[in-house]
Amino acid sequence: MMVTVTQQPMKPEVWRSLALSDAEFSKIVELLGREPTIVELGMFGSMWSEHCGYKHSRPLFPLLPTEADYVVQGPGENAGAIDIGGGLAAVFKVESHNHPSAVEPHQGAATGVGGIVRDIFTMGARPVAILDSLRFGPLDVERNRYLFTNVVAGVGDYGNSLGIPNVGGEVFFDPSFSGNPLVNAMCVGIVPIDELMRARASGTGNVVMIVGAETGRDGLHGATFASVEDPHASHRGVVQVGNPFLEKLLLEACLELLQGDDVVAMQDLGAAGLTSSAVECAARGTAGIEIDVSLVPRREPCLAPFEVMLSESQERMLLVVLPEGVDRVTEVVSRWGLKSARIGTVTETGHVVIREGDVIVCDVPARYFTDECPTYVRPAEEDPTVVAARSRDFGDLPDIDPELVAEVTLGLLGSANIGSRRSVYERYDSTIMTNTVVGPGRGDAAVLRIKGQERGLVVSLDCNSRYCWLDPYAGAQLAVAEALRNVSCAGGRPLAITNCLNFRSPEKPAGSFQLSRAVAGMADACRALGVVVVSGNVSLYNESGNEAIFPTPTIGCVGVIDDVTRHAGLVWSAGDVVLLIGDGPPTLGGSEYLAHAHGETIGAPPMLDLAAEGRVQSAVRGLIASGLVRTAHDVSLGGLAIALAEMAITSAIGIRLDPVDVSSRRDTYWFGERSGSIIIACEPERLSDVTAQLELDSIPWARLGVASGDAIAFSPMDSLDLSAARSRWESALLFDRQSGG
């Protein structure tokens, strides 16, 4: 076999247009001992992109803890998996679709959901929940309203049609996301552990099949495009178009196929399409793979091999099938109304061989695409602007008047970052599959039952980008702490996380600094709090012009609740005693209050004592599991006053706060943000049991007040009417849709 190489030497603009550096091109020539074909070069360009090859982030990964006795599948597969008891595994991952969403928000977001859902059912798991984490520029800019409205519509359209509940997530607004919105989607699936599927080509002579949609020109170079700055400069045609109906059929067909023994491996076609699925399948299995692109079903004529290999047409799946099973697989797939085709075989060469009929257009050892992908550790240096912002003293800002706490609270409730997310989550079906015990807006994390079992799953998705900008190490630690705290506040025991590293260009020292410090912070927080990382995704180059995003390592956390009927949410009952447990000190540093009231992102983020954080989370889980407490909410964005207001509004019952002697600043006490602090409520007759338990666990606590009435009464002279609070909070994200573009 001989590769047909083009006669003329390749020109630098060709490899540069595929986002390969001159040095990388030389390395390819050196590895191959010849110039690559254009197909090979395109495949290297995609596989060695940040999106597929993690060339800037991979050197940091060894820092992250990935091993625990309950880990069934760690990083490196389509998704991670953990043992959740009862013979079941939870399979989950979060992934970004930032660049496509910046260009075509509806389809970008929709196909982001489609991609992450495929990652989950590729593992043989039935997807049971979607969460999404979104970031945009301020809503007073028309383009941002357009992006926000259409991203939410896209996330909704795809998940709703698939029939997978969207149960949680977050939305955050800051000018740094104006040109660079973030769209991260997480999916969680459940599978009996012994039915977990992995994507490893094996068994020489096994048949490689492609199933699902036909291949077109959509999404060419998507992986490369996601790894360069300024998506607007790129072509809109690279954004894929989603067809959730087709994906629903593909999902059911694949899950049915995995019930039999005919399919030995499955790999979805995501970023870099057939290239990455063939390469990854071969590289993980240490086998070779040979594909004839002329056998790939197409939706348009005259596709070159290069295009077939790099198309990112959605809703496609690669299967490795036993030869005697091909007819059965074809029958099942066709019963679901889908197309399938034999396109190749598994070989023992270790090579990825691509041919078009008799012409070989690629013959490269699979590991060249993966193991030989260069990695870079770039010079890192903190941006002096950030150092200056972090050290800014806010002591000279005027404190709020003693009787204006209610008024400031009302103002903050109208902030886009604090207001009700109802206008978002009501676009998403959250009740389908009939497992949603605590859905969006009702608790700090979503609680899902598992049919036929006493236990349940608890899931959250979080990050505070402001903290991460001010201090990436501390910010990433706080992101881990909060994702876990949210799971704990619902009653779940956090077991593992998945992360989505959204950062600016790592080729600039400031970007490299943020990335390396954030990963270090995440690793340290995971170790201290006893969770592992089982999957993740990296999205770099989120900057355009002079604007770079706030670094955003989004953390998705999955936990288990032993008795799903014993969970907690935001709602308290009239007469409940309300306590604050944990004593993370409040600070205005990096707070929503400073950004909202003073237009400043300054100061150091809240201090995090990881040991204290672990203790308070464990305590709240204990109180919920014992049945003493059914109401818990952590103090986060907006501080104590906002956390209380959110609970009061959601419960439709106010609170009469005890007189409090604020020794330091009032704004810091009420609106300062803190770690390791949780508000709980319990019936008065259970108070002594609750406080006894807290003292036994050495958890500091303080009584805040009693749930009652129809106002948040900070003091007899300073009270916020609940209906006014509700209407401000509920309208924070509403705007005239006609002007939304």
What one-character-per-residue DSSP string does 97-137 give?
-HHHHHHSHHHHHHHHHHHHHHHHHHTTPEEEEEEEEEEES
By CB under 8 A, is residue 111 in contact with other proteins? no
Q: In the numeric block, which tokens belong to residue 526?
A: 């995971």
Question: Minimum CB separation from other proteins for residue 314, in Å?
Answer: 13
**Distinct helix (H) and strand (E) counts, the chain:** 25, 28
What is the smallest separation between the CB atom of 423 and other proteins, expressed in angstroms?
Answer: 9
Footprint on residues 663-692 left by other proteins (CB under 8 A): none
Applying CB under 8 A, which part among 47-55, 184-192, 320-328, 435-443 lies near other proteins?
Answer: 435-443
Among 218, 363, 429, 576, binds other proteins (CB under 8 A): 429
Segment near other proteins (CB under 8 A), from 84-92, 197-205, 237-245, 292-300?
A: 237-245
Among 204, 381, 451, 695, binds other proteins (CB under 8 A): 451
Nearer to other proteins, 378 or 427 (CB): 427
Q: How far is the CB of 426 from other proteins (least distance, A)?
A: 5
DSSP 474-522: HHHHHHHHHHHHHHHHHT-EEEEEEEEEE-S-TTSHHHHHHHHHHHHHH
| Least distance (Å) between residue 556 CB and other proteins | 21
| Active-site residue, selected from the candidate residues 56, 97, 99, 106 | 97
d(CA 679, CA 702): 10
Under the binding rule (CB under 8 A), the answer on residue 243 touching other proteins is: yes
Segment lying near other proteins (by CB under 8 A), choices 358-366, 434-442, 568-576, 589-597: 434-442
Site for other proteins in 548-607 (CB under 8 A): 564-565
Alpha-carbon distances of 481 from 263, 477, 488, rounded to whole Å: 40, 6, 10
Residue 434 found at the interface with other proteins (CB under 8 A): yes
| Residue carrying the six token digits 């990695």 | 375
The one-letter amino acid at 690: V
Shortest distance (Å) from residue 454 CB to other proteins: 11
Name which position in 427, 455, 508, 527 contacts other proteins (CB under 8 A): 427
Specify whether the CB–CB gap between 642 and 412 falls below 8 A: yes
Q: Does 162 bind other proteins (CB under 8 A)?
A: yes
* Of 6, 204, 375, 431, the one binding other proteins by CB under 8 A: 431
CB contact at 8 A, 374 and 52: no
For tokens 């059965």, the residue is: 328
300 vs 426, beta carbon nearer other proteins? 426
Q: How many binding residues for other proteins (CB under 8 A)?
A: 31
Asked if 241 touches other proteins (CB under 8 A), the answer is no
CA 33 to chain centre: 40
425 near other proteins, judged by CB under 8 A: yes
Distance CA 583, CA 606 (A): 12
Q: Which stretch binds other proteins (CB under 8 A): 194-202, 428-436, 508-516, 642-650?
A: 428-436
Amino acid sitting at position 571? V
97 carries an active-site annotation: yes
6 near other proteins, judged by CB under 8 A: no
Closer by beta carbon to other proteins, 243 or else 535: 243
**163 lies in the binding site for other proteins (CB under 8 A):** yes
DSSP designation for 196: -
> To the nearest whole angstrom, how small is the minimum distance from the Cβ of residue 243 to other proteins?
7
Nearest to 304 by CA among 550, 658, 639, 37: 37
Q: Contacts with other proteins in 329-348 (CB under 8 A)?
A: 336-337
Cβ partners under 8 Å of residue 24, min gap 6: 15, 44, 48, 374
Question: Judged by CB, which is closer to other proteins: 76, or 337?
Answer: 337
Exposed, middle or buried, 331 (CB in 10 Å: 0-12/13-18/19+)?
exposed
String of DSSP letters for 405-447: HHHHHHHHHTSTTTS--HHHHTTS--STTS-EEE-TTSSSSEE
221 is catalytic: no
Rounded to whole angstroms, the Cα distance separating 309 from 289 reads 14
Give the residue numbers annotated as catalytic, written as ranges.
Answer: 51, 97
**Chain contacts with other proteins (rule: CB under 8 A):** 156-157, 160-163, 243-246, 248-249, 336-337, 425-437, 449, 451, 564-565
